[in-house]
Amino acid sequence: MATIDGLPPLRDVIRDHELVAKKQLGQNFLLDLNLTAKIARQAGDLTACDVLEVGPGPGGLTRGLLAEGARRVLAVEKDARCLPALAEVADAYPGRLEVINGDALEVDAPAMLNAPIRVVANLPYNVGTELLVRWLTPKQWPPFWESLTLMFQKEVAERIVAKPGSKAYGRLALLAQWRADAKIVLTLPPEAFTPPPKIHSAVVHLTRLDQPRFPADAAILSRITAMGFNQRRKMLRSSLKGLAPDIEDRLRAAGIAPTARAEEIPLEGFCALAREIAK
């Protein structure tokens, strides 16, 4: 069967390279190249961008990114078994794909890329949230990336885009929405993957803002949200009492009722409180 790039279908690649999926590496592969090209398109125009991909596996999304015109893809893969399959993709796109065999939590990928940079990945579930938090909390803002287009378990995706008052609302929503626009752009059923996971998945697209949506000190905001949501059923005057002896006054000065709970407070309120605490 003809593919979008003339390379063999992914089912054959997986068979020929004996890439039996390993659960401990979060290996649920996408085999439909039309779908991987569609995911690549969610990242916007890639023709003038370097792309960082984490966990290319047998190369389905990598091939989608290259077929959609990415200027260059740097793909970081922990499983050395995938390297021969990825080398075939690199041969088909001379000079446009570089593969690093390593752990994405340890490799300094931004140092190997040229701006503008977009991150696109079907993330391994076991490191996905940690990578996202790192990308959202660099020492300097703006970060190295222009956008992140990332596949997560649907439940995690919902936490990223959640609004106040919902069960999914918490630290991840605040971190993501403080300095980026975040939206779910695709939802995928388990059958889209081989082997199928137990849960649905979703692609989230985050576009960085040049400035945070509301002014606040990042470290203070992070501390407040951690304390507030660690005890999300408690009133803020009690969950935040370790922050300042006069926490009730500070909450009122920020326009927040001391009896409110973290899950009711919008981003703007947390930022106002961070400014009060910084005074």
Q: What does the binding site for ligand SAM look like in residue numbers (CB under 6 A)?
A: 25-30, 54-57, 60-61, 76-79, 82, 103-105, 122, 124, 127
3-state class (DSSP) for residue 175:
helix
Of 104 and 157, which has the nearer Cβ to ligand SAM?
104
Of 52 and 172, which has the nearer Cβ to ligand SAM?
52
Of 28 and 239, which has the nearer Cβ to ligand SAM?
28
Torsions phi, psi for 217 (to 5 deg)? -80, 130
DSSP per-residue codes, 208-259: E-SS-SS---HHHHHHHHHHHHHTTTSBHHHHTTTT-TTHHHHHHHTT--TT
Q: Which residue is nearest to ligand SAM (CB)?
A: 55
Residue 7, CA atoms < 13 Å, CB-side half-sphere: 25
196: preceding bond cis by omega (within 30 degrees): no
Closest CA to 269 of 259, 252, 254: 254
CB of 28 to ligand SAM, least distance (A): 5
Of 124 and 143, which has the nearer Cβ to ligand SAM?
124
Of 122 and 147, which has the nearer Cβ to ligand SAM?
122
Enumerate the β-bridge partners of residue 206.
Answer: 148, 182
Of 82 and 161, which has the nearer Cβ to ligand SAM?
82
CB of 30 to ligand SAM, least distance (A): 4
Enumerate the β-bridge partners of residue 108.
Answer: none
CB of 7 to ligand SAM, least distance (A): 14
CB of 31 to ligand SAM, least distance (A): 7
Within 8 A by CB and 6+ apart from 164, the residues are 263, 264, 265, 266
195: preceding bond cis by omega (within 30 degrees): yes
CB of 161 to ligand SAM, least distance (A): 20
Of 56 and 170, which has the nearer Cβ to ligand SAM?
56
Its sign, for the CA torsion 45, 46, 50, 52, is positive
CB of 38 to ligand SAM, least distance (A): 12
CB of 205 to ligand SAM, least distance (A): 16
- Residue 61 DSSP label: H
Residue type, 130: E
